[in-house]
Amino acid sequence: MAGPDVVVLGAGVIGLTSAVCLAEAGMAVECWSADPPAATTSRVAGALWAASPLPDPDGVLARWAGVSLEVFGELAGDPSSGVRIAHGVVASRERSGEPRQMFPGVQLRGAPAPQGCVAAFELDAPLIDMPPHLEYLRRRLGAAGGAISRRRLSSLSEPARHAPLVVNCSGLGARELAGDDSLTPVRGQHVVVENPGLEDFFMEDRGAPEWACWFPHGGRVVLGGVAQPGAVDPVPDPAVSQGIVERCAAVEPRFANARVLEVLVGLRPVRPTVRLEAEDLHGARCVHNYGHGRSGVSLSWGCAREVLQLLRSAPPPRPASRH
């Protein structure tokens, strides 16, 4: 029996979105992941669409973010996707100018600045509820004929023996699988509370390792945030949780007494820039798609379509009998 056309490694938002694009383009796709989608780092995200903060001298990241903005705008019409166009405020403690680089293509309007901030701007942007969005992607992949398998790998040679095309969306796993020492874990922690009646999001312009932000998703609100480079402890830190709630309550007092539903920890895969490139590997064609840091959701659809283009331009698959 012939194997799949392509194996996608990773079932977070980058891997699933890539797998969906490939399957809907007519490829036979298997998605291999050590963890189910609901247990990946992507599940921890807030997740507000915004441009990547990574250096972007060629404008490639902005282009990928723009593609994702367009797709999320379309998905907002489908309640099952977990995507909505939300109203909210972005505030800064240091910069008075509009944060246009954070939200290219989105109209910004001046707003009253919260205490301690020098400027604030209101906007409407895609806000993605990650648990239902990951489930939406899983269903969409299945509808296109793709499948997800639980597999833990030690080498990229394993999927290369199984399919002529491989897409490496393994996140931090690429440190070992691809030998990429430039990848650094950056620990994040969110406190999820019962929604006290909010629909709008709020985010401080993130120039510091700790900031206030919240993202309402129906009956729950995801509060943040922190960025702890090099930290890898998956256990929630009560002191970090307390700081998150206090910073958010300083802007919105209703959070001070909101019931905590859960505390989430995730390790963001950060490198100097996103790695999205093709190479020949163990007789297969491999496209690496990882290192998105905190912008995985925002870049997901743009990067997935780039993966599709790279694989379409690949040489004809090697003839082989795969089992």
Q: Set out the domains of the chain in order of their start, with CATH numbers.
A: 6-312 (3.40.50.720)
With 60 as the cut, is the pLDDT of residue 318 above it? no
Q: Hey, is 222 helix, strand or coil? A: strand
Q: Grade residue 315 by pLDDT with cuts at 50, 70 and 90.
A: low
299 has pLDDT over 50 = yes
Sort strands 201-204 and 210-217 into parallel, antiparallel or unpaired.
Answer: antiparallel
Contacts (Cβ under 8 Å, ≥6 apart) of 140? 20, 24
Using the structure block, give the residue that is written with the tokens 């669409």.
49
Residue burial 240-266, b: 16+ Cβ < 10 Å; e: rest: bbebbbebbbebbeebeebeeeebbbb
The phi, psi pair for 201, rounded to 5°, reads -90, 165
Tell me how far apart the alpha carbons of residues 63 and 147 are, in angstroms, rounded to a whole number: 29
Residue 149, judged by CB atoms within 10 A of its CB (0-12, 13-18, 19+), counts as exposed
* Residue 219: strand, helix, or coil: coil
Residue 322 pLDDT greater than 70, yes or no: no
Query: C-alpha angle 94/100/102, rounded to 5°?
Result: 80
Rounded alpha-carbon distances, angstroms, from residue 214 to 46, 88, 219: 8, 10, 13
For residues 150 and 8, give the distance between their C-alpha atoms in angstroms, rounded to a whole number. 12
**160: pLDDT strictly greater than 50:** yes
Q: Give the chain's mean pLDDT.
A: 94
Instruction: Round to whole Å and give the CA distance between 31 and 25.
Output: 15
| pLDDT given at position 283 | 86
- Our CA dihedral for 252, 97, 268, 183, rounded to 10 degrees, sits at -160
Rounded to the nearest 5°, which phi and psi values hold at 48?
-95, 130
The mean per-residue pLDDT over the stretch 227-242 comes to 97
Biggest CA-to-CA distance, the chain: 66
73's CB contacts (< 8 A; 6+ apart) are: 85, 126
Q: Tokens in use for 73? A: 């705008």
Mind listing the pLDDT tens digit for each residue in 178-233? 999 999 999 999 999 999 999 999 999 877 899 999 999 999 999 999 999 999 99
The residue type of 61 is L
**pLDDT tier for residue 118 given thresholds of 50, 70 and 90:** very high
Residue 97 has a pLDDT of 86
| pLDDT of amino acid 319 | 41
Joined together, the tokens standing for residue 148 give: 């997800």
